[in-house]
Amino acid sequence: MVDLKIENLTKKYGETTALDKFSIDIKSGELMVLLGPSGCGKTTAIRCIAGLIAPTNGQIYLGNKKVNELSPKDRDVAMVFQNYALYPHMSIHDNIAFPLKMRKKSKSDIQEKVIKMAELLGIRDLLDRKPKELSGGQMQRVALGRALVREPKLFLMDEPLSNLDAKLRTHMRTEIKKLQKKIGITTLYITHDQVEAMSMADRIAIMKNGNIQQIGTPTEVYHQPNNTFVGQFIGNPQMNLISGSIKDESLFLFSQPIIIQPVDKTLLEKKLTPKFIVGIRPRDVIIIKETDIFTGIRLDGTVVFIEMLGDDTTVEVKIGSDSLLVTINNILNPFHVGDIIEIGIEYSKMHFFDDEGTRID
């Protein structure tokens, strides 16, 4: 097990800067997920680490060793892609054995390692089949086996589950996480799916335009997003962003004055910029019933859209000319489009950002 350290990795393709001073430390045995929208540079980062492309600038250390100058095969890194092409004419056994044969391992050594890996992945009874006789999930397991059988130092995965259907994807992400922990291999896993990232990661690195916006545990990035980009990228439906300002001890949200209760004066002590942004997650907005006692911020709004999502329902509420998404439990949904309702926001659930979107604490 080794750790991976990347310093100021930059990759330019002509005018395009795919990676811009990308830096990250991955601890030995850790599963780090790299999460970000399409085109933000995830694949470029992983390809530089694997040695498939050369960075324009920056250093890559595996353990204490700088590996920039090493060829891919000398880096001892395994990679699994979205298209995990298995060799169609070979049996599953030979597919998994292939990397060991290439390294001229002895027959008995190969046999022992292939069986051990197949058992770990629960595919021992499939070893005599050909790839076309397997399901998508089984093929994915074989691809993992083939990548890991030679016991590499580092495991890189680039959206390995995106070809699978939703149910299998959920199942496989749990399997990959368990396997990674069992083997204890340092892993960098790429996805643009925030749920996949949250469920698998020891830590998540959120990327935008070639660099990292925040690195933290799933809990940290959800509860303490560094900026509005991270706030909105993690969580579904996305975090509401509301413009805010403070004048004469009144808090204005959605251009409406909200009188601050004495107990909430701490708000005034925050280092708020004259204009700021309040983030509130749809799940943290409350719909107040007439009989409720609620001491936070209360606002009237009109229901303009209702979206049923299974366990939850998203309600879009228009407040003045702005709108706010509210997540409610299905069973408790007595609302209709056009209803006037009162919503509540607790001060403790509000995230504050300056007008450029950086978190204020």
Ligand X SMILES: Nc1ncnc2c1ncn2[C@@H]1O[C@H](COP(=O)(O)OP(=O)(O)OP(=O)(O)O)[C@@H](O)[C@H]1O
* String of contacts with ligand X for each residue 11-50, x by CB under 6 A: --x--x-x-----------------x-xxxxxxx------
40 binds, among Mg ion, ligand X, none (CB under 5 to 8 A by kind): ligand X
Nearer to ligand X, 42 or 141 (CB): 42
Q: According to the binding rule CB under 6 A, does residue 93 interact with ligand X?
A: no
Alpha-carbon distance 204 to 198, whole Å? 8
Q: Taking the mean position of all CA atoms in its chain, how far away is CA 76?
A: 26
Smallest gap from residue 23 Cβ to ligand X (A): 16
Indicate the residue among 157 and 324 with the shorter CB distance to Mg ion: 157
Which lies closer to Mg ion via its Cβ, residue 205 or residue 253?
205
Helices (H), the chain: 42-50, 72-75, 92-102, 107-121, 136-148, 166-183, 194-200, 218-223, 228-233, 266-269
CB of 342 to Mg ion, least distance (A): 45
357 binds ligand X (CB under 6 A): no
**Window 26 to 85, contacts with Mg ion (CB under 5 A):** 43
Residue 192 contact, options Mg ion, ligand X, none, Cβ 5-8 Å cut-off depending on partner type = ligand X
Q: What minimum distance in Å lies between the beta carbon of 43 and ligand X?
A: 3
CB 154 within 8 A of CB 185: yes
Q: For residue 345, give both structure tokens.
A: 């926001």
Tell me the β-bridge partners of 305. Answer: 316
Closer by beta carbon to ligand X, 12 or else 129: 12
What size, in residues, is the chain? 361
60, 215 Cβ separation under 8 angstroms: no
**Residue 80, beta-bridge partner list:** 157
Binding to ligand X, residues 182-221 (CB under 6 A)? 192
Q: What are phi and psi of 106, to 5 degrees?
A: -70, 155
* Total residues interacting with Mg ion, rule: CB under 5 A: 1
- Measure the CA–CA gap between 241 and 251, rounded to whole angstroms: 15
The answer to whether 179 and 120 are in contact (CB under 8 A) is yes
> Which residue lies nearer to ligand X by CB, 43 or 194?
43
d(CA 276, CA 257): 14
135 is a contact residue toward ligand X (CB under 6 A): no
User: Please, what is the end-to-end C-alpha distance for the chain in angstroms?
Assistant: 37
219 is in the binding site of which of ligand X, Mg ion, none (Cβ under 5 to 8 A by kind)? Answer: none
Minimal distance in Å, beta carbon 190 to ligand X?
A: 7
Tell me: does residue 54 bind ligand X (CB under 6 A).
no
- Those residues whose C-beta lies under 8 Å from the C-beta of residue 116, and which sit 6 or more positions away, are none
Using CB under 6 A, count the residues that bind ligand X: 12
Give whichever of 29 and 58 is closer to ligand X, judged by the CB atom: 58
Question: Cβ-closest residue to Mg ion?
Answer: 43
Residue 261 binding result from Mg ion, ligand X, none, given CB thresholds of 5 to 8 Å by partner type: none
Residue 78 CB-half CA count within 13 A:
22
Q: How far is the C-alpha of 344 from the C-alpha of 287, rounded, in Å? A: 6
Instruction: Provide, rounded to whole angstroms, the least separation between the CB of residue 258 and ligand X.
Output: 40
Rounded least distance, CB 16 to ligand X, Å: 5
Q: What is the rounded distance in angstroms from the CA atom of residue 40 to the CA atom of residue 336? A: 40
Residue among 229 and 276 whose Cβ is closer to ligand X: 229
State the Cα–Cα distance between residues 141 and 340, nearest whole angstrom: 52
Q: Binds 297, which of Mg ion, ligand X, none (CB < 5 to 8 A, cut-off by type)?
A: none
List residues near ligand X by CB under 6 A. 13, 16, 18, 36, 38-44, 192
List residues near Mg ion by CB under 5 A. 43
